[in-house]
Amino acid sequence: MKVLALALVLSIPVPKLAPPARLPFSTPSQQQENPKGGRWYFAANGHAVYCYGPVFTMPQPQGRLMKVATFCRGDQIMVPLKD
């Protein structure tokens, strides 16, 4: 009886524990692609944009002024902002 119980216990599969997955290290090109210090803005087209550069006020041909955010995600240099 003890032999049968021992054989039964030894025949049960034991799950192997895998080490936790490591996150990949970021390369220097990825760090340059997403610099810190940006800010969210509300664009004139109704979308939110994340920009890293300063906000400028640019003159329009009609004599009006338009605020633009600079150096935004998605390779956009200037994005008109909603006032």
| Residue that is written with structure tokens 């633009």 in the block | 68
What are the pLDDT digits (tens) for 40-71?
999 999 999 999 999 999 998 988 999 999 99
Q: Please state the pTM of the whole predicted model.
A: 0.53
Higher pLDDT, 34 or 72: 72
Which has the minimum average pLDDT: 17-21, 32-36, 54-58? Answer: 32-36
Domain that holds residue 41: 30-55+70-83
- Strand-strand pairing, 48-51 and 39-42: antiparallel
Looking at residue 76, its pLDDT comes to 87
Distance from chain centroid for Cα 42 = 18
Return d(Cα 6, Cα 28) in angstroms, integer: 56
- 54's CB contacts (< 8 A; 6+ apart) are 70
Split at pLDDT 50, 70, 90, the class of 31 is: very low
> How many folded domains does the chain comprise?
1
Structural domain contains residue 15: no
Residue 27, pLDDT > 70, answer no
| Distance, CA of 44 to CA of 25 (rounded, Å) | 37
